[in-house]
Structure 1
Amino acid sequence: MSRADGRAVADPHAAAAAFDSLWEEILAVGRDGGTGGYRRYAWSDADLTLREWFRGCAGARSMDLEEDRNGNLWAWWLPRDWVGDPKGAFVTGSHLDSVPDGGAFDGPLGIVAAFAAVDLLRARGIEPSIPIAVVAFSDEEGARFGVACIGSQLATGALAPERALGLRDIDGITLAEALTRVGRRPDRLGVDTTLTERVGVFIELHIEQGRALDLVDSPLALASSIWPHGRWEFDFTGEANHAGATRLVDRHDPMLAFASTVHTARAEAVARSAVATFGKVLVSPNGTNAIPLRVRAWLDARAADQSTLELMVSRITAAARGHATVDGIDLQVVAESITPIVEFPPEPRRRLAQTLAHLGDIPVIPTAAGHDAGILSDSVPTAMLFVRNPTGVSHSPAEYADPVDCHVGAAALADVMAAWVAAEPA
């Protein structure tokens, strides 16, 4: 196929073949038979299986496989006669881990599309003039250890190794222990000093997490920005007691303050056109006939700008302290992670739009979801492509993207890759 200016573009039928075969290979990995959702937590058996799949994809394409000091996987396609380390590379990819009972597309879509794009370039006889890499960043979702984008945050210095290694999962296992169990070296975690030299641009293709594209009938969009967002742990501690034998006036029940705080969070979010969610809760001792001793809950909050986010969280926290005082319980609030607003640079977005002009006008939209591209944006040029999500459902087994739209995304990524590396048919 060709554009109006005569340049070849990826064939959608070839994109379908390249994408579908890869997609089928990983559909069963980490999928729960009861919920239909995925449980691909960092350094779990499912994660290790997907890492081996990634290694196999690199080997099948004669790409050099590297696992860096932070567990991020890189598959390198180096130009002929390239000598020395990669520099100024075109890098694309995403992540392989999931939230609890997440969907199939969040993360893996970008990696499958990246390998499919490599296949499409090779089928067209294109030899890159600069290195190309497919990357799978480690523990993007933060589902196991509570902090998102661990791999990219460590690489850029946004997360200190000392803090990362002390993070614990729900079973009390630290990240350091988890890495040791799977044969990795915790002492190697830290800033990737070669990142800015090796990566010329990072383009992340991801399923849309929202429903903007369905409403404008477009299979693709470009990202303009990522809302500032963060996670805060609220630890309500009261007094455990008998649920039947303890008078209401004698109780110090942390569940009451927590429940009131949930309602406050919703009201504060509505008032500011933002979002605030308590999605993870741990209750101790968690007995049916026991007043809880402790309720640990995590607030996920996001807003269009930093000042709005800060004001909303401060008001939620103040209200929670007020509820705790009334009920005679203790409250500790700790910020686990805070990510400022990301404004994607205009030049990579302009180049993407120019390359994909044959597809028509591509919407440019913000996103409230965090991504590795956002973490890397302070270090290297970044951009994002979104594939339409017709229902807007994400972080759920019901997450879905039409195969045709996935094929469009893979073909578009191949076109961008080809244009960026200034390659011509050999």
Structure 2
Amino acid sequence: MPAPVATTVTSLMSAIADVGTDPVRGGYSRPVFSVAELSLREWFLSEAAARGLDTETDRNGIIWAWWNPGGLPLRDAVVTGSHLDSVPGGGAFDGPLGVASALVALDLMVTRGVRPRRPLALTVFPEEEGSRFGRACLGSLLLTGAMDPRVAAGLVDDDGVTFAELCSANGLEPAYLGRDDEALARLGCFVELHVEQGRGLVDLGGPVAVASSILGHGRWRLTFTGQGNHAGTTQLADRRDPMIPAARTVLDVRRIAHVHRGARATVGRLVPTPGGTNVIASRVDLWLDVRHPDDAVTERIVYEISEAAASAALREGCGVSMVEESLSGSVDFDRALRDRLRVDLPGVPVLPTGAGHDAGVLAAHVPTAMLFVRNPSGVSHSPAEHVEDADAESGAEALADVLTDLLTSDAPSGDTHSGDALTTETKE
């Protein structure tokens, strides 16, 4: 096997620092199968090849890079990795940190002379953020069968390109999208390293944490309809302006979320049609994100928001419809695997997260765990997201310690993964 070509996370992250920079928003915009994301996929494949790994891209666009020096059967594998796509104007570390750390963890194990008793796969999942097609964790949803491949194929981006068309343009056959039992059968456990997307570690003073759970969350699209008209000639009393109930709903989202302890509710995108400065909109779409540890509370919050939106629309003589785009239940990571990581990493804290991850989708099918690396800004999905170099290296070393244990010991026996994480997709 060739000698490692890079031994630090910092050097790998520096090598991709110019890929996908966004001169308008700041930070990075790397939607799935964009020029930027494809460039990062090629970067990963090149790094994997330099380490002598066998690589493949499966029918759902997931990249697998295998370390299997003993030529073991590809089953009961330990898997680690993350994603390379980003939200619009996102930070540098959300996703790529986990991929770079996986490569460095492998380098560390090679240097240590680790002799694995199980195969290791480094993986890259596509469309984790859902920034192009509005479906977070699309690759893992397809892999596990949690999303209907026909629905996925028909998704349309802002340029009118369907996911099926994009797949075809990038060497994937849309007819073969969907649950991959052969790939799932190879997996023994999954450990995802990720930048922390909050300030838990900042306040605790440590560089690394183990995840306990992911808050249940979903996305909904509300469409307000009214009467498009001239901004200068239409009297206020004669207007049916959908922007007014949309604006009231944005405020109601915050008001309703405050009533439910631990809730997070956000309107991060609002699009008027036709969108002219001197035009009363005929339609306004807004996208709602709601999260809470209790799935019943999430349901209640969404119901209250829908009622508030209907009332606001009625007052303005407008209409409103609401469509569920995705819904993921709360996920408790595998207890046995989580406790094993705590033994491997003595003294590390255990923290929940409000952010969704591919690990949360896979948790319904295989023992899954996560490591978080400290983000001193406490900010994510923003250019202000940050990881100190020393913390990045500590994260990779922690991942190497965990992987070494999992690769050289008996397979962990999961006790909670069979039914704790349920992910549903609503067909439109």
Query: Structure 1-normalised TM-score?
Result: 0.93
Mapping of 1:195-206 within 5 angstroms?
Answer: 195-206=183-194
1:53 CA drift (Å): 0.8
1:16 positional shift: 9.2
CA distance in 2 between counterparts of 1:363 and 1:128 reads 28
Structure 1 residue 20 displacement after superposition? 2.2
Where structure 2 has 5 or more consecutive residues not aligned to the other structure, the ranges are: 410-428
1:10: which partner in 2?
none
Shift of 1:184: 2.1
Partner of 1:89: 77
Shift in Å, 1:198: 0.8
- Tell me the amino acid that sits aligned with residue 48 of structure 2: A
- Give the match for residue 328 of structure 1: 317
Q: Does the 8 Å CA contact 2:5/2:51 hold for their aligned counterparts?
A: no
Tell me how far 1:407 sits from its aligned partner: 0.6
Letter in 1 for 2:403: M
SS at match of 1:400: coil
Native 8 Å contact 1:15 1:410 kept in 2: no
- Choose from 254, 264, 269 the match for 1:275: 264
AA at the equivalent of 2:368: T
Q: Percent identity?
A: 50
Structure 2 residue 29 is the aligned partner of structure 1 residue 39:
yes
> Which residue number in structure 2 is paired with residue 5 of structure 1?
none
SS at match of 1:379: coil
**How many residues are paired up?**
405
Aligned residue for 2:152, secondary structure, equals helix
Among 341, 348, 351, which residue is 1:362 paired with?
348
Structure 2 contact 6–107 (Cα < 8 Å) conserved:
no
**How much has 1:15 moved relative to structure 2?**
12
CA distance in 1: counterparts of 2:115 and 2:384, whole angstroms: 39
> 1:406 is matched with which residue?
392
Equivalent-residue separation in structure 2 for 1:212 and 1:54 (angstroms): 30
CA RMSD of aligned residues (A): 1.4
Which residue pairs with 1:301 in the alignment? Answer: 290
Cα deviation 1:254-296 (Å, max 9, x = unaligned): 0000011011100111111311111011111111111001101
Deviation at 1:59, TM superposition (A): 0.5
**1:184 to 2:168 alignment:** no
**Correspondent of 2:20 among 4, 18, 30:** 30
| Whole-angstrom distance in 1 between the partners of 2:401 and 2:71 | 24
Which deviations, in whole Å up to 9, do the C-alpha atoms of 1:53-86 show, x marking residues without a partner? 111111101111010110000100013243x4x1
Corresponding residue for residue 310 of structure 1:
299
1:219 — aligned with what? 207
Cα deviation, residue 181, structure 1: 2.0
Q: TM-score when scaled to structure 2? A: 0.92
2:378 & 2:179 partners in 1: Cα distance?
Answer: 35
Give, in whole Å, the separation in 2 of the partners of 1:391 and 1:125: 36
Distance in 2 (alpha carbons) for counterparts of 1:404 and 1:17 = 13
1:377 has 2:363 as partner: yes
Q: How does 1:385-424 map to 2 (within 5 A)?
A: 385-422=371-408
2:55 maps to 65
User: Which residue does the alignment assign to 2:337?
Assistant: 348
The offset of 1:183, in angstroms, is 2.7
Q: Distance between the aligned counterparts of 1:140 and 1:251, measured in 2?
A: 41
- Cα distance in 2 for partners of 1:16, 1:325 equals 61
Residue equivalent to 1:145: 133
Counterpart in the other structure of 1:3: none
Contact 2:5 2:50 in 1 (8 A): no
CA-to-aligned-CA distance 1:60-118 (integer Å, 9 cap, x gap): 01111010110000100013243x4x100110000000000000000010000000000
- SS for the counterpart of 2:378 is coil
Structure-to-structure mapping, 1:38-187, within 5 angstroms: 38-82=28-72, 84=73, 86-187=74-175
Instruction: Tell me, in whole angstroms, the C-alpha distance in 1 between the residues paired with 2:169 and 2:138.
Output: 18
Q: How far apart, CA to CA, are the structure 2 residues paired with 1:74 and 1:268?
A: 43
CA shift, 1:128, in A, is 1.1
Equivalent position SS for 1:239: coil
Is the 1:29–1:50 contact (alpha carbons within 8 Å) kept by the matching residues of 2?
yes
The alignment partner of 2:10 has SS state of helix
Aligned CA distance change for structure 1 residues 15 and 51 (closer, same or farther; 3 Å)? closer
Structure 1: 5+ residue stretches without partners? 1-13
What do the CA deviations read for 1:277-332 (whole angstroms, capped 9, x no partner)? 11011111111111001101100111121011000010000110111111111111
* Separation (CA, whole Å) in 2 of partners of 1:197 and 1:88: 8
Whichever residue aligns with residue 263 of structure 1, its letter is: L
